[in-house]
Structure 1
């Protein structure tokens, strides 16, 4: 049998309202038209669907079954319409976001999760880049928005985002227990775990430490902050990481560095012609930073 969707929609309203008159009103139909549609449904089904009474109508068992399935069919039709309609929406160019490894650990994923959920009309292309490279891309108009460190001069528009100072972490109750601060020179005397040489954080530290800094002994180097923090927490060695990356972890010792270079901050940096969508994303980055 073939059912007309408007007839099914009318019947679900009749079932919900308890009368053909009320169902017709919801559908903006005249009572004769609504009654005719219900009779046509009953003729098609071959069984009575309603028990008509002076003050309304009750569903027969067959009517209750039809109403239940009709609601499911109409809900599925709505989902179908929504899915197909999404392809008809005029798509804008993806927002181009560049950020360093520290921001990519927590800040960017949290912001993207809320932004993409609230703005299905926009897509985002994300690239991990060192600050110096991010600024060049933004200045050349090859990126729209960046999360950069505050030590790279630029004439582009920037605004404060979040603290990104570095700390030393280690297994709870271990080498750092009871310490309120520590110098990098002392940290380098202990076995360390670190990020690999291609990591923006490693390259940034190498630039600050210079050739005369104590040479640390790395027991292993890994590609991600998540792995690095896991190893340090388990006692594999000390690690230098952004404080924000471990704020929510209570099972390790955290010790600030005494070295001036360890104090740094994240900025939001806008391309000269950043689209409005990039400004919307910036709002979610601020919210994630303040969470």
Structure 2
């Protein structure tokens, strides 16, 4: 059956207010008109949606299901409107880009700034995810372009070199770890760590790596950027694991020492990930060309 968007919005308003009259007021409708619309909706669905009580309404099981779906439909409509609005303002292209924490916080800001200056008619939706999540989203066709530091075995994607980098430990110059030039990761797991926030790709990677060694990482504090990690480490809060490119000289009050990790996974060469270059949209193809032109 066709669904009337006004009826869906009215139903959500009534359900959230738990009162037909107040819900009708939100939609600028008379209570009698709102009640009539709800009865017609119930008749068309063949099941009651509202339990009318003296002090308000309760939802039936069918009403709860409709509320869940109606919210999703209305949210998708709002997202559609947000996606289409730029076209009315002269933006004629849109590219979805997923990237891991490393790329998002280090190289991509400059790369995307350069791209958008050359292509003012394009907008980019950038989301941060773990490398495996990015690879699988690209392989499924959900995202056109990704930037990753590792791939997933069996995933049918193409990888193009983007930037070379390496994860390093950082510590205050007077910390015992700073006296080494290199170390296995397992040897520093007794130290408290400064980490990016839970849910960030590098946080997930680091915690999983420690768990694979049968250890639990002591996270003393979580912050929102690599710059904040460096500052906290400089202040003596703990040690950190960051890309070498994220450590800027002179950016902290106290000098930081970088210690090499001996594991192969510390080499974090970033790659642009696409399903098939030949099938990219024009603007996605332009973005890939811009990201990889200096390789």
Shift of 1:173: 4.1
What is the CA-CA distance between 1:261 and the residue it aligns to?
A: 2.6
**Alignment match, 2:54:** none
Cα pair distance change 1:247/1:162, threshold 3 Å: farther
Instruction: Provide the rounded CA distance (Å) in 1 between the counterparts of 2:261 and 2:175.
Output: 17
* Cα distance in 2, alignment partners of residues 245 and 192 from structure 1: 17
Report the equivalent of 2:281: 275
Change (3 A) 1:233 1:260: same
Matching residue of 1:140? 140
Query: Distance in 2 between the 1:282 and 1:120 partners?
Result: 16
Report the equivalent of 1:17: none
Q: How far apart are residue 286 of structure 1 and its match?
A: 3.3
2: CA distance between counterparts of 1:198 and 1:88?
35
Q: Find the counterpart in structure 2 of residue 180 from structure 1.
A: 181
Q: CA deviation at 1:91?
A: 4.0
Residues 185 and 263 in structure 2, CA contact (< 8 A), matched pair in contact too: yes
Find the counterpart in structure 1 of residue 13 from structure 2.
none
Query: Counterparts of 2:114 and 2:268 in 1: how far apart (Å)?
Result: 26
Contact 2:229–2:240, Cα closer than 8 Å, also in 1: yes
Higher RCO (CA 8 Å, separation ≥ 6 residues): 1
Query: Which whole-Å deviations, capped at 9, do the CAs of 1:240-261 have from their partners, x for residues lacking one?
Result: 1122222555731111111233
Between stretches 196-205 and 111-120, larger displacement belongs to 196-205
| Partner Cα separation in structure 2 for residue 87 and residue 260 of structure 1 | 45
Aligned 1:119-268 pairs, distance under 5 A: 119-153=119-153, 154-246=155-247, 248=249, 251-268=255-272
Verify the 8 A CA contact 1:95 1:123 in the aligned structure 2: yes
Match of 1:97 in 2: 97
Partner residue in 2 for 1:49: none
- For the residues of structure 2 that align with 1:92 and 1:140, how far apart are their CA atoms? 25
Task: Give, in whole Å, the separation in 2 of the partners of 1:152 and 1:243.
Answer: 24
Tell me: CA distance 1:106–1:164, structure 2 relative to 1, closer, same or farther (3 Å): same
Contact 2:146 2:274 (8 Å CA) reproduced:
yes
Range with greater deviation from structure 2 (105-114 or 188-197): 188-197
Uncovered stretches (5+) of structure 1, i.e. residues with no partner: 1-85
Aligned equivalents of 1:88, 1:125: Cα separation in 2: 17
C-alpha separation between the residues in 1 aligned to 2:87 and 2:156?
A: 39
Partner SS state of residue 178, structure 2: coil
Aligned length: 204
